[in-house]
Chains A and B, each alone.
Chain A
Amino acid sequence: DQQVKQNSPSLSVQEGRISILNCDYTNSMFDYFLWYKKYPAEGPTFLISISSIKDKNEDGRFTVFLNKSAKHLSLHIVPSQPGDSAVYFCAARAGGTSYGKLTFGQGTILTVHP
């Protein structure tokens, strides 16, 4: 049962344009969401997060939007740069006894062309 889904395995974007990566979740107990960037043979690097009490969080070129009613979040990167090319994972965390445990999506490979 995939509780966090990234339905697009890959995304190709021109440099300078906007990249939009999407993520859907099914578990209503998730209250905190994170985006990670990962290169092959390396561990994930934290990018940006959002609490379920917010609907938007912005950090420089990265903005995460959360639509709780639709159980959907998205990561916007603008402008996209070739160095942004990597695999992007969204992850979700629940409170209570599961506190700290992250559930990851399958990842989306982003390629930014010069």
Chain B
Amino acid sequence: GAVVSQHPSRVICKSGTSVKIECRSLDFQATTMFWYRQFPKQSLMLMATSNEGSKATYEQGVEKDKFLINHASLTLSTLTVTSAHPEDSSFYICSAMENRGGYNEQFFGPGTRLTVL
């Protein structure tokens, strides 16, 4: 149980195009999902908190118009990188939070490698 999937696993796009990444909780409902970004040999940096049915909360320094987040259902959150540029190339990871016995546990997706040419 507690499986989180991401699609696509890898995407290459041209500069200026938009890319959508999906994050799904396969066997549980997640009112809260998180989006992280990881640069090579660096830590996972939280980008935003995605709440079902409401606007996402972005971390300081993250452009909300650049990284659009939509949490349309209890099992799906999407991250759209708009007008992508080479500096947006990174590894994007989502996580979904599940309430287990009174406490919340996060489960991570396998990540999406974005390369912008």
Residues of A at the B interface (CB closer than 8 Å) are 36, 41-46, 89, 99-107
Contacts and interface: CB of A to CB of B under 8 A. Distances in A.
B91 A101 contact: no
B67 interface: no
Given A42-B110, A43-B93, A43-B108, A101 B49 contact: yes
Interface stretch (B11-19, B39-47, B78-86): B39-47
A43 B110 contact: yes
Contacts, number: 50
B43 A102 contact: no
Given A102-B95, A102-B106, 14 more contacts: A41-B91, A41-B110, A43-B6, A43-B93, A43-B95, A43-B109, A44-B44, A46-B106, A89-B43, A100-B32, A101-B46, A101-B49, A106-B42, A107-B43
> Top 9 nearest A-B pairs by Cβ distance?
A43-B108, A104-B44, A104-B43, A106-B43, A43-B110, A44-B108, A43-B111, A43-B109, A43-B93
A37 to B, nearest CB: 11
Chain B binding surface, main DSSP class: strand
A103 B106 CA distance: 13
Interface in B16-72: 32, 34, 36, 42-46, 49
Nearest to B6: A43
A110 to B, nearest CB: 15
Interface residues of B, number: 24
**Does more than half of chain A's interface fall in helix, strand or loop, or is it mixed?**
loop
A89 B109 CA distance: 16
Given A100-B49, A102-B46, A41 B111 contact: yes
A4 to B, nearest CB: 8
**Which of A44, A46, A104 has most B Cβ within 10 Å?**
A44
Nearest to A34: B106
Contacts of A102: 34, 44, 46, 95, 106
